[in-house]
Amino acid sequence: MLVKIDGIENKEFGKNKNLFLSFLKDNVHSGKVDAQVEVFKAVDVQKDSFHWIMSTFDTDRDFEKVDPKGWQLKNYLANPVVLWSHDYTIPAIGYAQNVKAENFLEGDIVFNDKEFDEFGWSIGQRVKCGALRCGSVGFRVDEVEFIDNKEMDCDLIYRKQELLEFSICCVPANPFAKVQPEKSLKIERIIQEASFFEKLQSGLARA
C-alpha cells in the first residue's frame, strides 16, 4: 500500500497500518477527513506477471489481419497455456490470466516457478529484463474474409477464430504483439467519509 497525504507520499504509513490508523483518528472530525488522503495499490498483484498485448487488428508480416471481435476464448480460458515458440512437444512454460478481447486481445502472463521449471522461469527472466518482448497467438480459423482491394495492405482477414495457445517468441508475425510496460499505481480510493475509516478500523481489529 502507498499513502499520500496532501499529495506527499508517507512511506511509514505504507509499512505500518496502525500508524496510518492513528493518523486517521487524529484527522477525522464529524465523519470527515481533514487532510486529502489518497490510497494507492499496485494494479499487478503478482510480481511475476506481465501484461501482454497478445494480438491486434494491425496487418502482420504475413499481410493478414485478425479481427479482435472474432476471438472465441471459452476453451482457452479453461486451459490458458503459454508456450515457447508454439512448441507443443514441451510442457507449457506458464499460463495466462484475465484474458479478454475488446479492441485487441490481451492478458496477464505468469511464468512457471524456478523450483519445478527452470526453463519456463528463465523465459520469464528474459521478459523481465527486456531480452524477450514479443508473443504470438496459435488459433483455429472459423471464418475468413479475402481482400481483393489492391489499396488494402492485407490479403485476408480472419473474422472468427478459436484461441488455442499463446507463445512467447523471438520474432512474431504481428510486431505489435508484445509485453507492455509495468503498470503504474492507480488511485484506489480517496478517503472522504467515515465509512472507509470504520471499515479500516474493523479490518485492523481482526488482524
- Beta bridge mates, 82: 94, 166
Q: 93 and 17 share a domain?
A: no
Q: 23 and 114 share a domain?
A: no
CB-based contact 100:54 (threshold 8 Å): no
**pLDDT, tens digit (0-9, with 9 covering 90-100), for 49-103:** 789 999 999 888 888 889 999 999 999 999 999 999 999 999 999 999 999 999 9
Read out DSSP for 110-148? EEPPTTT-HHHHHHHHHHHHTS--EEEEEEEEEEEEE--
Q: 11 and 29 share a domain?
A: yes
Q: 119 and 22 share a domain?
A: no
Flag the least confident range among 22-31, 47-56, 186-195. Answer: 186-195
